[in-house]
Amino acid sequence: MKSMFSSSLPLSEEKVKSCIQNFKTQGELFGDGKRNVIKLFRIEDFVLNVKSFKIPNLINQIAYRFFRKSKAQRSFEYAQKLESLGIGTPRPVAYFEHTTAFLFKESFYVSEHLQADLTYRELTKNLDYPEHTEILKAFTEFTFNLHENNIEFLDHSPGNTLIQLNNGDYQFFLVDLNRMNFKALSLDDRIKNFARLTTSESMVSVMSEEYAKLYGANSEEIFEKMWSYTEAFQEKFHRKKRLKKKLKFWKK
């Protein structure tokens, strides 16, 4: 099994490896484990978050073996990139890959487990959450900072930003890092990056006004773009859901 370690946390490599070796029988399950399985392991004074990516289909087993970086490797490297830019993400610890001569099998990404007060998702579910507008403005500034650093977080969705409140000194941390682009972003690229976050017009209004202020653009123009991209994403999302329901019906 290939492994790569970070110097972010002063941990024994052997103890981290033991989490991978005993992943199926030890550790505390975190989340529902429907897509990828995440478990928590305590080592010394740290809690580690170990994400096990499911074995890909045959075509991707070949692709990841010879042509593409795995999700675990990308998660690790992108976390290191974010760290170097001072952008919040749980500290990376290691990644592991199990391969055969011709196929890619299991992979794991290990990071420090971060205690958060909430995720962005809670803001979408409770518009009366304390300091809702202030948190949303700070989140918009955080996203603007991503864009200024030429980062396009392709999974910028409600569950993938952890938030620590810190008595008004809001801190944001990205998780589920394996899909990112690093490039100069046009205004459309930037505003489209908000499309998956919420269906609330009032939240889009707050974010668009704050982003316009930071970017130096007309707030009405930014709102129109952001709301248009939000509606387009929702229409595409619900169209896919309807199609899946039809396919399941015909399979019965």
Residues 96 and 139 in one domain: no
- Contact predicate 20/96, CB 8 Å: yes
Question: What does 153-183 look like in DSSP terms, one character per residue?
Answer: ETT--GGGEEEE-GGG--EEEE---S-EEES
Count structural domains, the chain.
Answer: 2
Tell me the sheet residues that pair with 51. 38, 109
The pLDDT of residue 194 is: 98
Counting residues of the chain whose pLDDT is more than 70, the rounded percentage is 94
How is residue 120 written in tokens?
């962005």
Q: Which secondary structure element, helix H or strand E, spans residue 205, and what is its range? A: helix 201-215
The pLDDT of residue 7 is: 87
The pLDDT of residue 10 is: 83
Instruction: Tell me, yes or no, whether 184 lies in a domain.
Output: yes
Residues 79 and 6 in one domain: yes
* Residues ≥6 apart with Cβ < 8 Å to 89: 79, 82, 83, 111, 173, 174, 175, 177
pLDDT of 6-29, one tens digit each? 988 888 999 999 999 999 999 999
pLDDT at residue 212 is higher than 70? yes
Residues 36 and 108 in one domain: yes
The pLDDT of residue 152 is: 98
203: domain CATH number is 1.10.510
| Banded model confidence at residue 243, pLDDT cuts 50, 70, 90 | low
Residues 130 and 72 in one domain: no
Residues 162 and 229 in one domain: yes
Residues 92 and 122 in one domain: no
Evaluated on CA atoms 189, 194, 199, 203, the torsion sign reads negative
Residues 51 and 129 in one domain: no
84: domain CATH number is 3.30.200.20
The pLDDT of residue 222 is: 97
| Banded model confidence at residue 251, pLDDT cuts 50, 70, 90 | low
Residues 58 and 157 in one domain: no
Residue whose C-alpha is closest to residue 107's, from 2, 245, 225:
2
Instruction: Tell me, yes or no, whether 248 lies in a domain.
Output: no
pLDDT of 59-78, one tens digit each? 999 999 999 999 999 999 99
Q: Which of 67, 97, 112 is the last residue of a domain?
A: 112
Q: Which of 68, 96, 112 is the last residue of a domain?
A: 112
Residues 216 and 108 in one domain: no
As a whole number of angstroms, the distance between CA 180 and CA 187 comes to: 17
Domain that holds residue 206: 118-240
Q: Which of 52, 78, 112 is the last residue of a domain?
A: 112
Residues 182 and 81 in one domain: no
* Residues ≥6 apart with Cβ < 8 Å to 192: 229
| Banded model confidence at residue 203, pLDDT cuts 50, 70, 90 | very high
The pLDDT of residue 121 is: 97
Residue in the structure block whose two tokens are 């919040």: 88
| Banded model confidence at residue 34, pLDDT cuts 50, 70, 90 | confident
Residues 235 and 151 in one domain: yes
